[in-house]
Amino acid sequence: MAHRFLTLTIADRIAVITLNNPPSNVLSTPVLQELDQVFGTMEAVDTVRVIIFTAAGRFFCPGADINELQELQRGHQGAEMSGRGQALLNRIERFDKPVIAAINGACLGGGLELAMACHMRVAAEGALFALPEVKLGLIPGFGGTQRLPRIIGPSKACELILTGESINAEEALAMGLVNRVVPAKDILPQAQVLAGMITSKGRLAIQSALRAIRTGLDSPLAEGLARETELFGSLCETPDKKEGTAAFLEKRPPKFLDH
């Protein structure tokens, strides 16, 4: 399938999706539609175990298309746009395959909301992060008011959302917004190293871990613990669990069969 705004490469069980919408990689409606299509395709490709999402050029993503925002004149129009964006980001967040954001530059507004929907974030030195929607008379509409407090805590999230001010990559790392900060030239290689560490593990264990984490974020502790127990028990019946424990005892690398 040909893509207008994205490039897709697959190698070593890792898919790299690159946003390429010059000059700044804004998230226009056509871009969001194409992202939804590509992520839908990746769900069905069994050979893909981890997805890296990054961008071409100087910017990761500055957010939504301001021209589209300016055209929103009715509440139902804004709600529809917000709902479409949230649906896509919810899909990414609920992927059973890990999604790593490789943030190569400015990550603002909807771009930061997209990055926060990914399971992990690797940032380039010099990258900036902000949810500046209040400067436009708006609030984040693609999940930013919900995900940012869950990631960095409500107090700091309030500061960033209510002021609209930016932070740098090192500040983002200190508050847990990103996992790693690396030189810009190493951003994709470092994301691939992280992805490779994951692909070396059994697919079923990775999938179950993501499901357990997701349940815990969405539910009271008791429900999260119950889901963990259920998933742990089901994994005990798999060939991968037998192989993993045997390999550990025999002091050799495991050869997971993914079933």
**52 assigned to some structural domain:** yes
Q: DSSP 3-state assignment of 154?
A: helix
Q: Are 229 and 194 in contact (CB under 8 A)?
A: no
Examine residue 240 and state whether it is found in any structural domain, yes or no: yes
- The CATH number of residue 110's host domain is 3.90.226.10
What CATH number corresponds to the domain at position 223? 1.10.12
- 225 & 116 share domain: no
| Structural domain of 230 | 203-249
Same domain assignment for residues 132 and 101: yes
Answer yes or no: do 179 and 212 share one domain: no
Per residue in 170-218, pLDDT tens?
999 999 999 999 999 999 999 999 999 999 999 999 999 999 999 999 9
Among the options 34, 43, 68, 133, which is catalytic? 133
Residue 145 lies in a domain: yes
Residue 128, in any domain of the structure:
yes
Residue 2 pLDDT exceeds 90: no
Burial class of residue 16 in the structure, from the number of CB atoms within 10 Å of its CB (0-12 exposed, 13-18 middle, 19+ buried): buried
- 147 shares a domain with 64: yes
CA distance 54 to 6: 10
The contacts of residue 5 (CB under 8 Å, 6+ apart) are 19, 20, 21, 30, 31, 34
Over 90: is that where the pLDDT of 259 sits? no
Q: Who contacts 12 (Cβ-Cβ below 8 Å, separation ≥6)?
A: 196, 199
**Which of 178, 199, 220 is the last residue in one of the domains?**
199
Q: What is the pLDDT of residues 92-115, one digit of tens each?
A: 999 999 999 999 999 999 999 999
Residues 100 and 208 in one domain: no
| Claim to verify: residue 178 and residue 223 sit in the same structural domain | no
CA distance 188 to 114: 17
Give a yes or no: residue 231 inside a domain. Answer: yes
pLDDT of residue 41 exceeding 90: yes
CA distances from 109 to 42, 61, 124, 128, 138 (A): 25, 8, 18, 11, 11
Residue 93 falls in the annotated catalytic set? no
Same domain, 44 and 25: yes
Q: Are residues 150 and 243 in the same domain?
A: no
Would you say the C-alpha torsion 105, 108, 114, 115 has a positive or negative sign?
A: positive
For the chain, how many structural domains are there in total? 2
Dump pLDDT digits (tens) for 131-155.
999 999 999 999 999 999 999 999 9
- Respond yes or no: is residue 133 known to be catalytic: yes
pLDDT of residue 181: 98
**Same-domain check for residues 27 and 95:** yes
Which band of pLDDT confidence, cut at 50, 70 and 90, is reported for residue 1? low
Of the candidates 34, 43, 71, 113, the residue annotated as catalytic is 113
